[in-house]
């Protein structure tokens, strides 16, 4: 199955051959088109200047949300920001991820990353999508160009209180690097600040605990919204899922301040979304 990442990326597909992941991505093929992604506006520049942690709440399994996030990282890095990028992968993946960032990005390097248990696990919920792999590759390219970008993983699904553990893991990275700008992409429930979730009115999300830990003035959140489309969702079966257009459309690529009662500080519409399959689902 071949899905183009039109308007955002042009990358070759991943192949599963002889029981291993064989991928070849050229450095030029992962450079995001700056004409496709609007430049960082003054609001984002102000957020980056006035906060140390920016949470981006995504819907797992889309092309556009990791793509926009990667373009934002790239644009901020080119402004000489020291950036720590957090992705919702297990803590024990940090070594493999940063090993890849230090590599040349060869087919062998890609196989070492994608061949580990997390990327080829039976359950694929969108966090190991092809768009997420391309995000990691974009960070590697930035680092190879001399920009001060590092990657950290912060998930802990074994924790008694997962969201509290996620917040503690991000807080630990921040405490060790308080001068850096921390850009975190995570599920749009974790990135909330307010109490409550669709399944539990008393649920406390990661964002709530993170503000308690490092201080509310240092943390802000942006919820990615969309104009409908499809995504790789697990509900609970993992599959391509159609999503309706919102009843009230909003302007694309414009950072919108939300009311204080809302569960995120800001929202940003990335437009019509298209599915990004798990990396292992891609075929030449």
Burial of 66 by CB count in 10 Å (0-12 exposed, 13-18 middle, 19+ buried)? buried
Residue 29 clears pLDDT 60, i.e. is over it = no
The model's confidence at residue 189, banded by pLDDT at 50, 70 and 90, is very high
Task: Write the DSSP assignment of the chain as a string of letters.
Answer: -----TTT---PPPEEETTEEE----TGGG---TTTSPPP-HHHHHHHHH-SEEEEEE-SSBSHHHHHHHHHHHHHHTTT--EEEEEEEEGGGHHHHHHHHTS---HHHHHHHHTSTTTT-S---STTBHHHHHHHHHHHHHHHTT--EEEEEEE-TTSSSHHHHHHHHHHHHHHH-TTSEEEEEEETTTT--SS-BTTBTT---HHHHHHHHH-GGGEEEEEEE-SSEEEEEESSSEEEEEEPPPSS---BT--EEPPTTSSSSEEEE--SB-B--BGGG---
In the chain, domain spans: 15-281
Asked if the model's pLDDT at residue 106 lies above 80, the reply is yes
- pLDDT of 43 reads 76
Query: In which band, very low, low, confident or very high, does the pLDDT at 213 lie, cut at 50, 70 and 90?
Result: very high
User: At 120, is the pLDDT very low, low, confident or very high (cuts 50, 70, 90)?
Assistant: confident
Structural fold of domain 15-281: Rossmann fold (3.40.50)
Residue 35: what pLDDT? 52
Summarised one tens digit per residue, pLDDT across range 135-151 is 999 999 999 999 999 99
**pLDDT at residue 30, as a whole number:** 39
Residue 1: is its pLDDT beyond 60? Answer: no
């Amino acid at each position: 199955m071949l899905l183009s990442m039109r308007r955002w990326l042009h990358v070759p597909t991943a192949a599963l051959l002889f029981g291993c992941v064989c991928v070849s991505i050229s450095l030029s093929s992962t450079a995001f088109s700056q004409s496709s992604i609007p430049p960082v506006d003054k609001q984002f520049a102000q957020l980056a200047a006035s906060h140390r942690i920016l949470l981006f709440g995504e819907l797992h399994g889309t092309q556009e949300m990791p793509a926009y996030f990667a373009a934002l990282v790239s644009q901020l890095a080119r402004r000489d920001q020291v950036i720590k990028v957090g992705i919702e992968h297990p803590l024990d993946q940090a070594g493999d991820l940063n090993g890849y960032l230090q590599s040349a990005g060869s087919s062998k390097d890609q196989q070492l990353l994608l061949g580990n248990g997390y990327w080829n696990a039976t359950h694929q919920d969108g966090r190991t999508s092809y768009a997420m792999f391309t995000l990691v590759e974009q960070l590697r390219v930035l680092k190879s160009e001399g920009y001060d970008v590092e990657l950290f993983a912060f998930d802990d699904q074994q924790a008694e209180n997962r969201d509290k553990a996620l917040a503690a893991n991000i807080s630990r990275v921040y405490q060790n690097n308080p001068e850096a700008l921390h850009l975190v992409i995570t599920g749009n429930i974790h990135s909330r600040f307010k109490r409550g979730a669709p399944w539990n009115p008393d649920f406390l999300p990661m964002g709530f605990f993170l503000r308690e830990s490092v201080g509310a003035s240092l943390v802000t959140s942006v919820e990615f919204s969309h104009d409908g489309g499809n995504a790789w969702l697990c509900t609970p079966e993992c599959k391509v899922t159609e999503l309706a257009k919102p009843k009230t459309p909003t302007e694309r690529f414009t950072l919108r301040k939300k009311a204080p009662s809302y569960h995120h500080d800001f929202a940003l519409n990335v437009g019509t979304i298209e599915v990004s399959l798990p990396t292992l689902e891609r075929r030449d």
